[in-house]
Structure 1
Protein backbone atom coordinates (compact mmCIF):
# COMPACT_ATOMS: atom_id res chain seq x y z
CA UNK A 1 0.00 0.00 0.00
CA UNK A 2 1.53 3.26 -1.15
CA UNK A 3 0.10 6.74 -0.76
CA UNK A 4 0.92 10.13 -2.22
CA UNK A 5 0.17 12.02 0.99
CA UNK A 6 -0.79 11.60 4.64
CA UNK A 7 -2.03 13.72 7.53
CA UNK A 8 0.67 15.10 9.79
CA UNK A 9 -0.90 16.57 12.92
CA UNK A 10 0.36 19.60 14.78
CA UNK A 11 0.57 17.44 17.90
CA UNK A 12 3.20 15.29 16.14
CA UNK A 13 5.28 18.38 15.46
CA UNK A 14 4.84 19.75 18.99
CA UNK A 15 5.96 16.45 20.53
CA UNK A 16 8.88 15.87 18.16
CA UNK A 17 10.30 19.39 18.45
CA UNK A 18 10.88 18.74 22.18
CA UNK A 19 13.24 15.87 21.31
CA UNK A 20 17.00 16.22 20.81
CA UNK A 21 18.06 16.80 17.18
CA UNK A 22 19.37 13.24 16.74
CA UNK A 23 15.96 11.78 17.76
CA UNK A 24 14.18 14.22 15.44
CA UNK A 25 16.43 13.05 12.62
CA UNK A 26 15.27 9.45 13.28
CA UNK A 27 11.55 10.03 13.81
CA UNK A 28 10.65 12.22 10.80
CA UNK A 29 11.83 9.70 8.16
CA UNK A 30 10.31 6.83 10.19
CA UNK A 31 6.88 8.50 10.14
CA UNK A 32 7.10 9.23 6.41
CA UNK A 33 8.25 5.71 5.51
CA UNK A 34 5.41 4.19 7.51
CA UNK A 35 2.64 6.56 6.37
CA UNK A 36 3.59 6.67 2.67
CA UNK A 37 4.92 3.16 2.04
CA UNK A 38 3.69 1.06 4.96
CA UNK A 39 7.24 0.20 6.04
CA UNK A 40 7.70 -0.28 9.77
CA UNK A 41 10.92 1.40 10.90
CA UNK A 42 13.72 -0.73 12.32
CA UNK A 43 16.73 0.12 14.49
CA UNK A 44 15.19 3.21 16.11
CA UNK A 45 16.63 4.43 19.40
CA UNK A 46 14.49 3.78 22.46
CA UNK A 47 13.24 7.40 22.60
CA UNK A 48 12.44 7.49 18.86
CA UNK A 49 10.72 4.08 19.12
CA UNK A 50 8.56 5.37 21.99
CA UNK A 51 7.64 8.48 20.00
CA UNK A 52 6.78 6.41 16.92
CA UNK A 53 4.65 4.05 19.02
CA UNK A 54 2.55 7.01 20.17
CA UNK A 55 2.10 8.43 16.65
CA UNK A 56 1.50 5.12 14.80
CA UNK A 57 -2.21 4.64 15.85
CA UNK A 58 -3.15 8.02 14.33
CA UNK A 59 -1.47 7.09 11.06
CA UNK A 60 -3.22 3.68 11.08
CA UNK A 61 -6.65 5.27 11.55
CA UNK A 62 -6.11 7.73 8.71
CA UNK A 63 -4.77 4.98 6.46
CA UNK A 64 -7.88 2.86 7.14
CA UNK A 65 -10.10 5.86 6.26
CA UNK A 66 -8.14 6.37 3.06
CA UNK A 67 -8.51 2.70 2.07
CA UNK A 68 -12.23 2.68 2.86
CA UNK A 69 -12.68 5.84 0.80
CA UNK A 70 -11.10 4.11 -2.20
CA UNK A 71 -13.72 1.36 -1.86
CA UNK A 72 -16.55 3.87 -1.99
CA UNK A 73 -17.10 4.39 1.72
CA UNK A 74 -19.85 2.99 3.85
CA UNK A 75 -22.68 1.21 2.05
CA UNK A 76 -26.02 2.98 2.15
CA UNK A 77 -28.65 1.39 4.29
CA UNK A 78 -31.73 0.18 2.50
CA UNK A 79 -34.73 2.31 3.30
CA UNK A 80 -37.92 0.96 4.76
CA UNK A 81 -40.96 0.73 2.52
CA UNK A 82 -42.41 3.94 3.94
CA UNK A 83 -39.45 6.14 3.05
CA UNK A 84 -39.60 9.78 2.08
CA UNK A 85 -39.36 8.71 -1.58
CA UNK A 86 -42.89 7.32 -1.26
CA UNK A 87 -44.27 10.69 -0.14
CA UNK A 88 -45.56 12.57 -3.15
CA UNK A 89 -48.13 15.19 -2.11
CA UNK A 90 -47.72 18.42 -4.04
CA UNK A 91 -47.44 21.74 -2.22
CA UNK A 92 -51.05 22.48 -3.14
CA UNK A 93 -52.19 19.15 -1.68
CA UNK A 94 -50.14 19.69 1.47
CA UNK A 95 -51.63 23.15 2.05
CA UNK A 96 -55.14 21.90 1.36
CA UNK A 97 -54.59 19.09 3.85
CA UNK A 98 -53.45 21.57 6.52
CA UNK A 99 -56.37 23.87 5.66
CA UNK A 100 -58.88 21.05 6.27
CA UNK A 101 -57.26 19.57 9.39
CA UNK A 102 -59.23 21.22 12.22
CA UNK A 103 -56.94 19.94 14.97
CA UNK A 104 -53.87 21.33 13.21
CA UNK A 105 -55.66 24.63 12.50
CA UNK A 106 -56.64 25.02 16.15
CA UNK A 107 -53.09 24.24 17.31
CA UNK A 108 -51.49 26.80 14.98
CA UNK A 109 -54.09 29.47 15.76
CA UNK A 110 -53.51 29.03 19.49
CA UNK A 111 -49.71 28.85 19.21
CA UNK A 112 -49.49 31.99 17.09
CA UNK A 113 -52.51 33.75 18.60
CA UNK A 114 -54.24 34.27 15.25
CA UNK A 115 -57.77 33.85 13.91
CA UNK A 116 -58.88 31.12 11.50
CA UNK A 117 -59.15 33.73 8.73
CA UNK A 118 -55.60 34.90 9.36
CA UNK A 119 -54.45 31.26 9.33
CA UNK A 120 -56.00 30.80 5.86
CA UNK A 121 -54.24 33.96 4.60
CA UNK A 122 -50.92 32.72 5.95
CA UNK A 123 -51.40 29.30 4.37
CA UNK A 124 -51.91 30.98 0.99
CA UNK A 125 -48.70 32.98 1.46
CA UNK A 126 -46.92 29.80 2.57
CA UNK A 127 -48.04 28.07 -0.63
CA UNK A 128 -46.61 30.98 -2.65
CA UNK A 129 -43.33 30.57 -0.75
CA UNK A 130 -43.24 26.82 -1.46
CA UNK A 131 -43.98 27.37 -5.16
CA UNK A 132 -41.13 29.86 -5.22
CA UNK A 133 -38.89 27.07 -3.87
CA UNK A 134 -40.18 24.81 -6.63
CA UNK A 135 -39.12 27.33 -9.28
CA UNK A 136 -35.76 28.20 -7.70
CA UNK A 137 -34.67 24.80 -6.39
CA UNK A 138 -36.78 22.34 -8.36
CA UNK A 139 -38.19 20.87 -5.14
CA UNK A 140 -41.67 19.49 -5.83
CA UNK A 141 -42.81 18.64 -2.28
CA UNK A 142 -41.68 18.23 1.30
CA UNK A 143 -40.20 14.97 2.57
CA UNK A 144 -43.28 14.20 4.68
CA UNK A 145 -46.36 15.85 6.15
CA UNK A 146 -44.41 16.40 9.39
CA UNK A 147 -41.67 18.13 7.38
CA UNK A 148 -44.31 20.34 5.77
CA UNK A 149 -45.83 21.27 9.12
CA UNK A 150 -42.39 22.03 10.57
CA UNK A 151 -41.60 24.20 7.56
CA UNK A 152 -44.87 26.12 8.04
CA UNK A 153 -44.10 26.77 11.72
CA UNK A 154 -40.55 27.90 10.95
CA UNK A 155 -41.68 30.11 8.07
CA UNK A 156 -44.38 31.74 10.23
CA UNK A 157 -41.88 32.62 12.97
CA UNK A 158 -39.70 34.33 10.35
CA UNK A 159 -42.44 35.94 8.24
CA UNK A 160 -44.53 37.03 11.24
CA UNK A 161 -42.21 37.61 14.20
CA UNK A 162 -43.98 37.97 17.52
CA UNK A 163 -44.28 41.62 18.54
CA UNK A 164 -42.02 42.58 21.40
CA UNK A 165 -43.78 44.16 24.37
CA UNK A 166 -43.18 47.89 24.55
CA UNK A 167 -41.56 49.03 27.76
CA UNK A 168 -43.61 51.43 29.90
CA UNK A 169 -43.00 55.10 29.28
CA UNK A 170 -40.83 56.72 31.92
CA UNK A 171 -42.73 58.64 34.56
CA UNK A 172 -41.18 62.09 34.71
CA UNK A 173 -42.80 62.75 38.09
CA UNK A 174 -40.67 60.11 39.82
CA UNK A 175 -37.26 61.20 41.07
CA UNK A 176 -34.93 58.26 40.37
CA UNK A 177 -31.76 60.08 41.44
CA UNK A 178 -30.30 59.09 44.80
CA UNK A 179 -30.61 61.81 47.43
CA UNK A 180 -27.65 64.17 47.64
CA UNK A 181 -26.62 64.85 51.23
CA UNK A 182 -27.16 68.49 52.07
CA UNK A 183 -25.21 68.55 55.32
CA UNK A 184 -22.16 66.58 54.30
CA UNK A 185 -18.81 67.76 55.62
CA UNK A 186 -16.05 67.22 53.06
CA UNK A 187 -13.15 68.73 54.97
CA UNK A 188 -9.87 66.81 54.92
CA UNK A 189 -8.88 65.48 58.32
CA UNK A 190 -5.59 63.90 57.25
CA UNK A 191 -4.59 60.34 56.41
CA UNK A 192 -5.93 57.74 54.07
CA UNK A 193 -7.84 54.70 55.26
CA UNK A 194 -6.65 54.59 58.82
CA UNK A 195 -6.56 56.46 62.08
CA UNK A 196 -3.87 59.13 62.29
CA UNK A 197 -2.55 60.29 65.62
Structure 2
Protein backbone atom coordinates (compact mmCIF):
# COMPACT_ATOMS: atom_id res chain seq x y z
CA UNK A 1 0.00 0.00 0.00
CA UNK A 2 1.39 3.37 -0.98
CA UNK A 3 1.86 5.88 1.81
CA UNK A 4 2.78 9.55 1.94
CA UNK A 5 6.55 9.88 1.99
CA UNK A 6 8.82 12.86 2.77
CA UNK A 7 5.95 14.86 4.23
CA UNK A 8 6.64 18.56 4.87
CA UNK A 9 3.86 20.30 6.82
CA UNK A 10 2.31 23.55 5.61
CA UNK A 11 3.88 26.58 7.25
CA UNK A 12 1.99 29.09 9.37
CA UNK A 13 1.46 31.45 6.43
CA UNK A 14 -0.08 28.69 4.31
CA UNK A 15 -2.46 27.72 7.11
CA UNK A 16 -3.41 31.37 7.54
CA UNK A 17 -4.17 31.61 3.82
CA UNK A 18 -6.37 28.51 4.09
CA UNK A 19 -8.29 30.03 7.00
CA UNK A 20 -8.71 33.31 5.14
CA UNK A 21 -9.98 31.53 2.02
CA UNK A 22 -12.51 29.56 4.06
CA UNK A 23 -13.51 32.59 6.13
CA UNK A 24 -13.56 30.43 9.27
CA UNK A 25 -13.10 31.68 12.82
CA UNK A 26 -10.32 30.18 14.97
CA UNK A 27 -12.93 28.05 16.76
CA UNK A 28 -14.29 26.76 13.44
CA UNK A 29 -10.79 25.87 12.23
CA UNK A 30 -10.12 24.02 15.49
CA UNK A 31 -13.32 22.06 14.95
CA UNK A 32 -12.36 21.28 11.35
CA UNK A 33 -8.95 20.02 12.49
CA UNK A 34 -10.40 18.01 15.39
CA UNK A 35 -8.38 19.92 17.99
CA UNK A 36 -9.13 19.89 21.71
CA UNK A 37 -9.01 22.84 24.11
CA UNK A 38 -5.39 22.10 24.98
CA UNK A 39 -4.29 22.72 21.38
CA UNK A 40 -5.81 25.98 20.12
CA UNK A 41 -5.80 26.66 16.39
CA UNK A 42 -3.83 29.96 16.67
CA UNK A 43 -0.86 27.97 18.04
CA UNK A 44 -0.34 26.73 14.46
CA UNK A 45 -0.33 30.28 13.05
CA UNK A 46 2.15 32.29 15.06
CA UNK A 47 4.39 32.77 18.02
CA UNK A 48 8.12 32.10 18.25
CA UNK A 49 7.63 28.37 17.50
CA UNK A 50 4.32 27.64 15.72
CA UNK A 51 3.06 24.07 15.97
CA UNK A 52 3.30 21.94 12.85
CA UNK A 53 0.30 20.17 11.34
CA UNK A 54 0.84 16.42 11.08
CA UNK A 55 -0.04 14.61 7.89
CA UNK A 56 -2.89 12.63 9.50
CA UNK A 57 -4.56 15.78 10.80
CA UNK A 58 -4.09 17.61 7.49
CA UNK A 59 -5.48 14.59 5.65
CA UNK A 60 -8.52 14.64 7.96
CA UNK A 61 -9.09 18.36 7.32
CA UNK A 62 -8.78 18.13 3.55
CA UNK A 63 -10.96 15.01 3.40
CA UNK A 64 -13.61 16.83 5.41
CA UNK A 65 -13.53 19.75 2.98
CA UNK A 66 -13.34 17.63 -0.18
CA UNK A 67 -15.83 14.81 0.41
CA UNK A 68 -19.56 15.28 0.15
CA UNK A 69 -21.71 14.24 3.10
CA UNK A 70 -22.49 10.75 1.75
CA UNK A 71 -18.80 10.03 1.12
CA UNK A 72 -17.85 11.37 4.54
CA UNK A 73 -20.48 9.19 6.20
CA UNK A 74 -19.03 6.11 4.47
CA UNK A 75 -15.64 6.94 6.00
CA UNK A 76 -17.22 7.24 9.46
CA UNK A 77 -19.08 3.96 8.97
CA UNK A 78 -15.82 2.26 8.01
CA UNK A 79 -14.23 3.59 11.20
CA UNK A 80 -17.10 2.11 13.20
CA UNK A 81 -16.73 -1.20 11.35
CA UNK A 82 -13.04 -1.22 12.30
CA UNK A 83 -14.07 -1.11 15.96
CA UNK A 84 -13.81 2.60 16.76
CA UNK A 85 -16.43 4.22 18.97
CA UNK A 86 -17.03 7.96 18.90
CA UNK A 87 -19.66 10.67 18.88
CA UNK A 88 -20.06 12.63 15.68
CA UNK A 89 -21.04 16.30 15.78
CA UNK A 90 -22.83 17.19 12.55
CA UNK A 91 -22.71 20.94 13.26
CA UNK A 92 -19.58 21.49 11.17
CA UNK A 93 -20.73 19.33 8.29
CA UNK A 94 -24.14 20.99 8.15
CA UNK A 95 -22.64 24.47 8.00
CA UNK A 96 -19.56 23.75 5.87
CA UNK A 97 -20.03 23.38 2.11
CA UNK A 98 -17.50 21.10 0.40
CA UNK A 99 -16.30 24.05 -1.69
CA UNK A 100 -17.23 27.72 -1.52
CA UNK A 101 -19.23 29.02 -4.43
CA UNK A 102 -18.45 31.30 -6.13
CA UNK A 103 -14.69 30.82 -6.04
CA UNK A 104 -12.71 33.12 -3.72
CA UNK A 105 -10.14 35.46 -5.20
CA UNK A 106 -6.81 36.30 -3.63
CA UNK A 107 -3.56 38.03 -4.43
CA UNK A 108 -0.59 39.39 -2.58
CA UNK A 109 0.46 43.05 -2.65
CA UNK A 110 3.26 44.69 -0.66
CA UNK A 111 3.49 41.54 1.48
CA UNK A 112 -0.21 41.51 2.36
CA UNK A 113 -2.58 38.69 1.38
CA UNK A 114 -5.78 40.18 -0.06
CA UNK A 115 -8.81 37.86 -0.15
CA UNK A 116 -12.39 38.30 -1.34
CA UNK A 117 -14.51 35.41 -0.12
CA UNK A 118 -16.74 35.34 -3.20
CA UNK A 119 -14.22 36.76 -5.67
CA UNK A 120 -16.19 40.00 -6.09
CA UNK A 121 -14.44 42.43 -8.43
CA UNK A 122 -15.36 45.57 -6.47
CA UNK A 123 -14.09 44.00 -3.23
CA UNK A 124 -10.74 43.11 -4.77
CA UNK A 125 -10.46 46.64 -6.15
CA UNK A 126 -11.04 48.07 -2.67
CA UNK A 127 -8.44 45.72 -1.21
CA UNK A 128 -5.89 46.68 -3.87
CA UNK A 129 -6.46 50.38 -3.22
CA UNK A 130 -6.12 49.80 0.52
CA UNK A 131 -2.82 47.99 -0.10
CA UNK A 132 -1.49 51.00 -2.03
CA UNK A 133 -2.63 53.46 0.66
CA UNK A 134 -1.07 51.29 3.39
CA UNK A 135 2.17 51.04 1.43
CA UNK A 136 2.30 54.81 0.90
CA UNK A 137 1.75 55.28 4.64
CA UNK A 138 4.62 52.84 5.32
CA UNK A 139 2.44 50.44 7.34
CA UNK A 140 1.94 47.52 4.93
CA UNK A 141 4.46 45.40 6.86
CA UNK A 142 2.13 45.44 9.86
CA UNK A 143 -0.74 43.72 8.02
CA UNK A 144 -0.61 39.96 7.35
CA UNK A 145 -3.91 39.67 5.51
CA UNK A 146 -7.11 41.51 4.63
CA UNK A 147 -10.21 39.36 4.23
CA UNK A 148 -13.42 40.69 2.67
CA UNK A 149 -16.31 38.48 3.78
CA UNK A 150 -18.68 38.92 0.86
CA UNK A 151 -21.51 37.10 2.64
CA UNK A 152 -21.78 39.76 5.35
CA UNK A 153 -20.19 42.66 3.45
CA UNK A 154 -17.44 43.17 6.02
CA UNK A 155 -13.68 43.53 5.70
CA UNK A 156 -11.37 42.30 8.47
CA UNK A 157 -7.64 42.74 9.06
CA UNK A 158 -5.11 40.36 10.58
CA UNK A 159 -2.12 42.25 11.92
CA UNK A 160 1.45 40.99 11.89
CA UNK A 161 3.22 40.15 15.13
CA UNK A 162 5.61 43.08 14.81
CA UNK A 163 7.38 45.13 17.50
CA UNK A 164 6.86 48.34 15.50
CA UNK A 165 3.05 48.11 15.45
CA UNK A 166 2.37 51.19 17.55
CA UNK A 167 -0.85 53.13 18.09
CA UNK A 168 0.33 55.60 15.45
CA UNK A 169 0.87 52.76 12.96
CA UNK A 170 -2.59 51.37 13.69
CA UNK A 171 -4.03 54.84 13.09
CA UNK A 172 -2.36 54.95 9.68
CA UNK A 173 -3.77 51.51 8.83
CA UNK A 174 -7.22 52.71 9.87
CA UNK A 175 -6.86 55.84 7.73
CA UNK A 176 -5.84 53.72 4.71
CA UNK A 177 -8.92 51.52 5.19
CA UNK A 178 -11.27 54.44 5.75
CA UNK A 179 -10.30 56.01 2.44
CA UNK A 180 -11.88 53.35 0.29
CA UNK A 181 -13.23 50.25 2.10
CA UNK A 182 -17.00 50.44 2.26
CA UNK A 183 -17.48 48.49 5.50
CA UNK A 184 -14.74 47.18 7.78
CA UNK A 185 -14.08 46.04 11.35
CA UNK A 186 -11.34 47.69 13.34
CA UNK A 187 -10.64 47.15 17.06
CA UNK A 188 -14.00 45.48 17.48
CA UNK A 189 -16.08 48.25 15.89
CA UNK A 190 -17.67 48.50 12.44
CA UNK A 191 -16.78 51.50 10.29
CA UNK A 192 -17.95 52.77 6.91
CA UNK A 193 -15.52 54.40 4.50
CA UNK A 194 -15.00 55.18 0.86
CA UNK A 195 -17.76 55.40 -1.73
CA UNK A 196 -20.22 52.50 -1.95
CA UNK A 197 -19.36 50.50 -5.06
CA UNK A 198 -21.73 49.64 -7.86
CA UNK A 199 -23.02 46.08 -7.89
CA UNK A 200 -21.14 43.48 -9.92
CA UNK A 201 -24.44 42.55 -11.52
- TM-based fold match above 0.5: no
Would you tell me which structure has more strand in proportion to its own residues? 2
TM-score by length of 2: 0.22
Would you tell me which structure has more helix in proportion to its own residues? 1
